[in-house]
Amino acid sequence: MKTADVPGIPAPFVEQLHDDGIEELYPPQAQAVEAGITEGDSVVASIPTASGKTLIATLAMLSAVERGGKALYIVPLRALASEKKAEFEAFEEFGVSVGVSTGNYESEGGWLGEKDIVVATSEKVDSLVRNGASWISDLTCVVADEVHLIDDRHRGPTLEVTLAKLRQVNPSLQVVALSATVGNAGDIADWLDADLIDDDWRPIDLRKGVHYGNKLSFDDGTEREVRIQGNEKQESALLRDILEDGGSSLVFVNSRRNAEAAARRLSEEVKPFLNPAEEEDLADLADDIRDVSDSDTSDDLAEVVERGGAFHHAGLAREHRALVEDAFRDRKLRVICATPTLAAGVNTPSRRVIVRDWRRYDGSGMAPLSVLEVHQMMGRAGRPGRDPYGEAVLLASNHDDREELFDRYVYAEPEPVRSKLAAEPAMRTHVLATIASGFARTRDELLGFLERTLYAEQSTEEGRLENSADQMLDYLVRNGFVENDDGDLSATNVGHTVSQLYLDPMSAATIIDGLRAYAKQNSKSDYQATESAAGFQTYSVDTSDEDTGEAEGDTKVPKPTALGLYQLISRTPDMYELYLKSGDREQYSEVFYERETEFLGSAPSEYEEHRWEDWLSALKTARLLEDWADEIDEARITETYEVGPGDLRGKVETAQWLLGAAERVAGELNLPGTVTVGVRDAKKRVEDGVREELLELVSVRGVGRKRARQLYAAGIETPADLRNVEKGVVLAALDGRRKTAENILENAGREDPSMEDVRADASAVPDDPGGDREDESTTEAQESDQSQTSLGDF
């Protein structure tokens, strides 16, 4: 089918496709059009990577907008949201507006109502639905990218419930679900009342094979000699072989550490293939990478990048990832060693994909990867229009392995997608959200809604859905999030807050219990715990003493410490804890006894094996957050806790969110004011990575943790000081950087911020303002970043 013959799409788009050299639809695309994709009909397309799923989505969305409708594109990863938005922005030329929503859980997103096409993660859409965004009911078309991820334990249930809700709000909604090739795409199509396109057509041939000995054997019967030299590893020989052919390679391994080690080794193979101009390009790229952050990971990555290789995993900062992906697409980098994160949707094709590790540690031992995962990695092989074909290779170390790999992955069909909604945290969270957002007002309505999920479609066991729903209801009622009045369901105030904040109810319950226990333990006789009608304990000042005002009463409960609060939020299922390594148990037990009084709630005893272990891992996570809030240098934190800068950033963001939630919840439970203040301070400190005395200074735009410490050391403690102090002192504290100093003074509201003719007053600044806490190296990126934010150091 010619693109010009597709009905219902804007003419300028056809021209745009034409300019991009796309005149003929790929066969699966033509099938989608025949199934009515441009006329509002629902379709599930289960087709391989690189077979043009995006164009199917685009045709559906543009035709929906052309008919006066509004479309939503749901992406599985935040990183993909910006990629897709950049792609769709080309439509603005012919009047189609595009918005992306990846922001925080709470932002209301009203402005998105104006856009024709909205791009968002399923978590974001779910949060918009929970918060009652009105434009949701205007949607006429929704695209779900990588819908097979419904099978993912962590993210799947949200996608599943979101689709069910969108369909309940808009019964005539067109759903276009894009999936990798899976065993049971038909189930998904039945569930969504959609036509099914199930095709394994690819625009470029893919050969799948296994390397063993000196030979690479493919599924089409062809063979290629790839000789191993000496005792080198198979992947080295396979990489060299493809480099000699002018290709590049993606190598998938099973852990971050392995990705880094393999990248170091394999980049040595690339080096001899580089000419001086290419080496210069790579040196520039390495500089850009070092500028992203002053961590070891940044240095390690830059080092391998200089030699033409890279590693890629979830511990990298977002900026690192983008630099690596772009450089690989531009052929500057010839090999990337990646954990499977890269297989999940980021478009980085390569002539040869090497799946080196097909087993992964799953908590108890090494377990084989799913066929679907391995096929997703393999699908990255071959760049249409540039490579003659793609090759995906597994590695066998003996004959039996070779046979097993062919059977297990090369010839095998991917597993069916199964709903994971029955998993506890998912059920808990979504049952509460369904009640709080008014989707279900009675038990029957709740069951009716759950009937619309894939879980119900796939569940064969009689009464199972009903049972798990009832169990969850019971939990939510017991914890005071939901009231069940003879089958009439409503969320309590706290229940509403918890749902809107996107907390797992169990996290909320942990936080509430901890804060309450703290208030109770520390309150003097002025505070009484009283049971409210909803079963909540609230704390109020004892009114029998007429003179005791609330403010005065508050002072009697001391502020909880930052460490105590960090440990509390780290105990929740929403905080991904750090593992205890060997020796950690002893170390953190010691910390526990030293700081026992700071913890909120009652600690388990050492003999309660599991709970004790959990408590200590939470303490380790809390110590990491405390170090960050104590201005310890990022590089030192990543080294001490053996995490990447991306992990640190993730922990800090999660802590900010959970403490923000704790602050709201504490306010609602009427806990003593000092508890709320303690939570707020702990949140601000982790947000900016500073000690308490710098909180005021970092509120000035352009002042991050390092600059704040330098200013403080020079005697400047508040924004008011910035407005009044001698300018020479400010200039000296900021290492003589005039532009930076001017900006900061302006942001602090100084009337005449100009630094012209000002001389730095070196006598005002001590030699080492940060003491042993700081690494004083300031990168160029930080210096040029005038709006240095709290996380500017990453």
Q: d(Cα 396, Cα 69) in Å, to the nearest integer?
A: 53
Residue nearer to ligand ADP on the CB measure, 55 or 489? 55
In 383-523, DSSP assigns E strands to: 390-395, 482-485, 488-491
Q: Tell which residue, 380, 389, 314, 310, has the closest CA to residue 347.
A: 380
Instruction: State the minimum distance, in angstroms, from the CB of residue 31 to ligand ADP.
Output: 12
148 DSSP assignment:
G
Number of H helices, E strands in the chain: 32, 21
The closest of 637, 596, 638 to 615, measured between CA atoms, is 596
Q: Considering the complex, what minimum distance in angstroms separates the CB of residue 56 from ligand ADP? A: 8
Tokens encoding 386: 């540039």
The strand order across the sheet containing 206-212 reads 223-225, 215-218, 206-212, 390-395, 352-355, 249-252, 335-338, 309-312
Q: Least separation, in Å, of the C-beta of 28 and ligand ADP?
A: 9
Q: What is the amino acid identity at position 320?
A: H
Whose Cβ is closer to ligand ADP: residue 328's or residue 794's?
328
- Residue 416 Cβ, how far from ligand ADP at the closest point, in Å? 21
Give me the least distance between CB of 123 and ligand ADP, in Å please. Answer: 21
Would you say 31 or 788 has its CB closer to ligand ADP?
Answer: 31
Task: State the nearest-atom distance from the C-beta of 319 to ligand ADP, in Å.
Answer: 23
Least Å from the CB of residue 29 to ligand ADP:
6
Give the integer Cα–Cα distance in Å for 100 and 104.
12
| Least distance to ligand ADP, CB of residue 289, Å | 26
Nearer to ligand ADP, 165 or 351 (CB): 351
Angle between helices 424-436 and 156-169 (to 10 degrees): 30
The three-point CA angle 677-679-681 to 5° equals 70
Q: What is the 3-state secondary structure (H, E, C) of 499-534?
A: HHCCCCHHHHHHHHHHHHHHHHHHCCCCEEEEECCC
* Strand 43-46, strand 195-198: pairing: parallel
Task: Indicate the residue among 121 and 567 with the shorter CB distance to ligand ADP.
Answer: 121
Q: How far is the CB of 365 from ligand ADP (least distance, A)?
A: 33
The two structure tokens encoding residue 463: 């009464």
Q: Measured from the CB atom, is 204 or 412 closer to ligand ADP?
A: 204
CA dihedral (508, 511, 516, 517) positive or negative: positive
Minimum distance of ligand ADP from residue 55's CB (angstroms) = 4
Q: How far apart are the first and last CA of the chain?
A: 49
Q: Which tokens go with 749? A: 């509201």
Nearer to ligand ADP, 22 or 261 (CB): 22
Q: Which is nearer to ligand ADP, 321 or 430 (CB)?
A: 321
List Cβ neighbours of 228 (8 Å cut-off, separation of 6 or more): 213, 214, 234, 237
**DSSP-assigned states of every residue in 585-631:** HHHHHHHHHHTGGG-SSPPPPTTSHHHHHHHHHHHHHHHHHHHHHTT
Residue closer to ligand ADP by CB (options 178, 671) is 178
Q: How far is the CB of 729 from ligand ADP (least distance, A)?
A: 56
CB of 145 to ligand ADP, least distance (A): 8
In this complex, which beta carbon is closest to ligand ADP, that of residue 145 or of residue 160?
Answer: 145
Minimum CB distance to ligand ADP smaller for 25 or for 669: 25
Pairing of strands 98-101, 117-121: parallel
Q: Are 494 and 665 in contact (CB under 8 A)?
A: yes
- Binding residues for ligand ADP, rule: CB under 6 A, are 22, 25-26, 29, 49-55, 347, 384
Which two structure tokens, joined as six digits, stand for 603?
Answer: 């600690």
**Is the Cβ of residue 56 or residue 494 nearer to ligand ADP in the bound state?**
56
